[in-house]
Amino acid sequence: MQRTCVIYESKYGSTAGIARAIALVLGPARTCRPEEFSGDLRSFDLFVIGTPIYNGNVAPSIRRFVETNAIWLRKKPVAFFCTCLNLHKGHEYLKELRSMVGGDAPAVAFGGRMEVLRLDRDDLTALSLYAKKTDFTLEDRDLTDIGTVTAFALALREKMGCSGQMDGSEIKKAIEDYLRAHHTCVLATGHDDQVRATTVDYLFDNGKICIYSEGGEKFAHLLRNPAAALAVYDDYTSMDDIAGLQIAGTAEVLRPGDTGHAEALELCGIDPERLRALNTDLNVIRITPAKAEFLNAAFKRQGYAMRQILRYNVLPSQPQ
């Protein structure tokens, strides 16, 4: 699995918090300050470098780190971020660092946080002088947007996931074979701030996943939000044989009489007459996959990345 090293500097904790959030999304990952970086970390696959901006400058320790390690960093995927109070100048702040490693590294500026009472004497003096010369108001500010941070990390994760991928038709077949070999999954549904995970049996046929249920809380979510996800996996014994599949898609609720309901019952081998004798309805949740992520140690032994991604709106002949 690809590993990420997040190198950051932080004086008051804002940049450190963002570095930790990025590492969580990109994991397996390691966070460290420049002075904590050791040679063995050079073997990692992705390097994300973060700096606060003070008086319009990146942290000196980050500049030294990039200058000192620029030669080997140019051979690695690298991304930069900064935390600042002037987002409009964010890319300008990072331009010098990007140029040291080739100039095309992804870079983003995140809103920072300032608590006036926590500023040390030098920073308070500098900001007070700056405030007198400009229209800047010296007051507590928190421009942190964790949604923007996680979106950046997810974009990096997606970009890194493009390497070592199988052909689309190969991934699709591997996923379908795995789904047919299993019949139990964890179904995740939710709306607003409520979520639910339910262990259910399923059947896979003709590109769709069918789940049979008389009712329950999951329907309260699906009736308001058709987005659903499910996980199918083997019991973990070691990383040498790990296998697990995550699918995200759209769910339809089929009630008796709805188009497709009878066909779904036939797929499961359920006799409609016997079902009617029970005097209760059997509903079908039919999920159409939109994206699948398949983690399988066998792929690595075949020379591919352990984590394979399939987007169902992309034709098999198109790049994933």
Residues whose CB is less than 8 angstroms from the CB of residue 114 and which lie 6 or more positions away in sequence, other chains included: 12, 85, 140, 141, 142
| Domain boundaries 4-160, CATH class | alpha beta
How far, in Å, CA of 26 to CA of 22, rounded?
6
More confident residue, 208 or 91: 208
Lowest mean pLDDT of 26-30, 152-156, 276-280, 292-296, name the range. Answer: 276-280
| Residue 49 clears pLDDT 80, i.e. is over it | yes
Q: What is the DSSP string of 92-143?
A: HHHHHHHHHTTS-S-EEEEE-EE-GGG--HHHHHHHHHHHHHSS---S-EE-
How far, in Å, CA of 143 to CA of 109, rounded?
11
pLDDT digits (tens, 9 = 90+) for 51-87: 998 878 899 999 999 999 999 999 999 999 999 877 8
Residue 212 in tokens: 């049979």
Q: At what angle do helices 146-160 and 14-26 cross, to 10 degrees?
A: 40
pLDDT the model gives residue 268: 82
When pLDDT is averaged across residues 125-141 and rounded to a whole number, the result is: 81
When pLDDT is averaged across residues 91-99 and rounded to a whole number, the result is: 90
| Residue 1 clears pLDDT 90, i.e. is over it | no
Mean pLDDT of the chain: 89
Neighbour count for residue 85 (Cβ, 10 Å): 14
| Residue 108 clears pLDDT 70, i.e. is over it | yes
In degrees, to the nearest 5, what angle opens at C-alpha 299 toward C-alphas 298 and 301?
A: 65
Neighbour count for residue 69 (Cβ, 10 Å): 20
pLDDT digits (tens, 9 = 90+) for 223-258: 999 999 999 999 999 888 999 999 999 999 999 889
Residue ranges per structural domain of the chain = 4-160, 168-311
pLDDT digits (tens, 9 = 90+) for 12-47: 889 999 999 999 999 899 999 999 999 999 999 999
How far, in Å, CA of 109 to CA of 264, rounded?
50
The label of the residue with tokens 């920073």 reads 123
| Residue 318 clears pLDDT 70, i.e. is over it | no
| Residue 320 clears pLDDT 60, i.e. is over it | no
| Percent of the chain whose pLDDT exceeds 90 | 62
Side-chain-side CA neighbours of residue 281 (13 Å): 13
| Inter-CA distances, 107 with 53, 98, 104, 138, Å | 14, 8, 9, 28
How far, in Å, CA of 5 to CA of 274, rounded?
59
**If residue 205 lies in a helix (H) or strand (E), which one and from where to where?**
strand 203-205
The confidence band for 314, taking pLDDT boundaries of 50, 70 and 90, is low
| Inter-CA distances, 7 with 34, 38, 160, 295, Å | 6, 11, 18, 27
| Percent of the chain whose pLDDT exceeds 70 | 96
The confidence band for 131, taking pLDDT boundaries of 50, 70 and 90, is confident
| Domain boundaries 168-311, CATH class | mainly beta
pLDDT digits (tens, 9 = 90+) for 199-217: 999 999 999 999 999 999 9
